[in-house]
């Protein structure tokens, strides 16, 4: 073991550059080189750190796309991508009538899946408001539902102890000023007052709201939307809220969509993704992700310091498609046994393996084996010394050996002990880092 210690120190001394290069070239989901990305944001302020503390600990949230498009069942963009005349679309508002208790089922499912917050569409691009408003009749209380769907959602989320987020699309295909605001100053002023007014109602009438999740800013820019004034109002109404960056300001966090791209410099980020290929209900979309894929995505997000916001698209009656329920229930079972490796994770540098990925808490490395190879597994180039190893699911100790190049875990069962991913816990003597370039350059070759 002494010789190991000496070698390890040597390795650490010589590997700063190779560790850095690994961070940008490790695999397809690593962050892009800084030069190819937006200007690096400044480090979070003390106020952001305070407001975002719960959110960083939460890691996993449920996104819900629900509106008239849910009734129609052909994706939330159907109104535009099929160029449905407004007169044909509006009748959906009268037919829309979610069954009682729909939101309670969403919140129970989110909680069972291990999610800690929810973000629901209060108004999507179609312009229909799921809440009670004095500013338009095109809203849930005055159309088919005759109820405030946002109120039901807020109450349901709170009943399950989940944080409450509001999605709000700035773009609007229904409002008469929704397009002409780009070219007509009077229309812009009216539309900005309407938009700010709806946001004011949302952040006044439902108690403490945890997240405001803006979406599509077309056709205006931050100046056109008066986004500085918008956010100022938001923080006056809700001093603890966090906001995203889609009203063309930086806000509190970035929103990579359908991909996992880490931010730098402590900037917060959340990757949002669909469970199939649609955000809103599309009855024929059968391209479902598996629970294994969902968990691997969650692992990748938290490994790199981000959150994962996973979408469901309920039907018009509020019911979540059975495939989504099945996948999220499986994810929840896995989280019951493996949640510690997710919720408590710190930034994790190791990432090179062909059948596993990693998360880390302090000096503990979690090896998440998604393709179980059989009786033994190995990690290349781990620079920390492993003190002990066990299976997370049942706490059973596992045998291992370590040389300067390899940690070799042996005597494992032929079949994976957990499904869909088995987590092996490696307690190390320092922060686990990996340097596979060291292995490539130094591991003795044939005859040496």
Q: Which residue ranges make up the site for ligand GLC (CB under 6 A)?
A: 65, 76-77, 215-216, 257, 272, 279
Burial class from Cβ neighbours inside 10 Å (0-12, 13-18, 19+) for residue 315 reads middle
Least Å distance, CB 175 to ligand GLC, is: 17
User: Minimal distance in Å, beta carbon 443 to ligand GLC?
Assistant: 45
Q: Specify burial of residue 108 (Cβ count, 10 A radius: 0-12, 13-18, 19+).
A: middle
Nearer to ligand GLC, 252 or 330 (CB): 252
Separation between Cα atoms, residue 125 and residue 288, nearest integer Å: 24
Considering the complex, state which of residue 246 and residue 360 has its C-beta at the smaller distance from ligand GLC.
Answer: 246
Smallest distance, Å, CB 382 to ligand GLC? 37
Nearer to ligand GLC, 124 or 352 (CB): 124
Q: Which is nearer to ligand GLC, 110 or 426 (CB)?
A: 110
CA dihedral 155, 312, 199, 208 (to 10 degrees): 30
Question: Torsions phi, psi of 201, nearest 5?
Answer: -60, -45
Query: Smallest distance, Å, CB 56 to ligand GLC?
Result: 20
Helices (H) and strands (E) counted in the chain, each on its own, are: 16, 15
Shortest Cβ distance from residue 80 to ligand GLC (Å)?
10
Q: How far apart are CA 208 and CA 234, in angstroms?
A: 12
CB atoms within 10 A of CB 126: 26
Q: Min. distance of Cβ 65 from ligand GLC in angstroms?
A: 6
Six-digit token string for 433? 């880092």
Of 430, 299, 448, the residue nearest 366 (C-alpha): 299
Measured from the CB atom, the residue of 144 and 256 that comes closer to ligand GLC is: 256
Q: Which residue is nearest to ligand GLC (CB)?
A: 279
- Of 309 and 378, nearer to ligand GLC (C-beta) is 309
CB of 258 to ligand GLC, least distance (A): 8
212 or 409, CB closer to ligand GLC? 212
Strand 386-391 vs strand 377-380: parallel, antiparallel, or unpaired? unpaired
Q: Which is nearer to ligand GLC, 257 or 323 (CB)?
A: 257
* Cα gap 346→364, rounded to integer Å: 10
Q: How far is the CB of 311 from ligand GLC (least distance, A)?
A: 7
**Strands lying side by side in the sheet with 399-402:** 377-380, 406-410, 399-402
């Amino acid at each position: 073991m002494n010789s190991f210690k000496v070698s390890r120190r040597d390795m650490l001394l010589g590997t700063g550059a190779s560790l850095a290069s690994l961070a940008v070239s490790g695999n397809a989901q690593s962050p892009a080189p800084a030069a190819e990305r937006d200007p690096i944001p400044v480090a979070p302020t003390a106020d952001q750190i305070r407001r975002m503390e719960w959110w960083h600990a939460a890691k996993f949230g449920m996104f819900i796309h629900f509106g008239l498009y849910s009734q129609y069942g052909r994706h939330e963009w159907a109104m535009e991508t099929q160029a449905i005349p407004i007169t044909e679309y509006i009748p959906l508002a009268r037919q829309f009538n979610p069954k009682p208790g729909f939101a309670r089922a969403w919140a129970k499912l989110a909680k069972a899946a291990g999610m800690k917050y929810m973000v629901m569409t209060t108004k999507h691009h179609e312009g229909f408001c799921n809440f009670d408003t004095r500013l338009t009749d095109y809203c849930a209380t005055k159309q088919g539902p005759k109820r405030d769907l946002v109120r039901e959602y807020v109450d349901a989320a709170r009943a399950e102890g989940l944080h409450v987020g509001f999605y709000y699309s700035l773009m609007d295909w229904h409002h008469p000023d929704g397009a002409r605001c780009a070219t007509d100053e009077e229309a812009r002023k009216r539309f900005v007052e309407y938009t700010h007014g709806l946001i004011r109602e949302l952040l006044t009438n439902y108690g403490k709201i945890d997240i405001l999740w803006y979406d599509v800013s077309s056709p205006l820019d931050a100046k056109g939307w008066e986004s500085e004034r918008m956010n100022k109002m938001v923080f006056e109404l809700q001093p603890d809220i966090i906001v995203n960056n889609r009203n063309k300001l930086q806000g509190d966090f970035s929103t990579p969509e359908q991909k996992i791209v880490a931010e730098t410099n402590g900037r917060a980020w959340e990757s949002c993704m669909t469970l199939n290929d649609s955000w809103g209900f599309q009855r024929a979309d059968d391209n479902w992700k598996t629970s294994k894929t969902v968990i691997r995505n969650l692992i990748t997000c938290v490994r790199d310091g981000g959150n994962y916001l996973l979408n469901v698209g309920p039907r018009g009656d509020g019911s979540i498609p059975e495939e989504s329920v099945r996948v999220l229930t499986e994810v929840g079972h896995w989280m019951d046994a493996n949640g510690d490796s997710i919720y408590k994770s710190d930034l994790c540098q190791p990432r090179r393996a062909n059948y596993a990925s990693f998360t880390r808490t302090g000096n503990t490395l979690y090896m998440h084996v998604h393709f179980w190879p059989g009786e033994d597994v190995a990690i290349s180039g781990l620079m920390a010394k492993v003190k002990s190893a066990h299976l997370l699911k049942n706490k059973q100790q596992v045998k291992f050996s370590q040389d300067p190049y390899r940690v070799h875990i042996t005597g494992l069962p032929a079949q994976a002990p957990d499904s869909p991913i088995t987590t092996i816990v490696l307690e190390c003597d320092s922060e686990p880092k990996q340097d596979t370039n060291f292995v490539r350059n130094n591991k003795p070759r044939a005859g040496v």
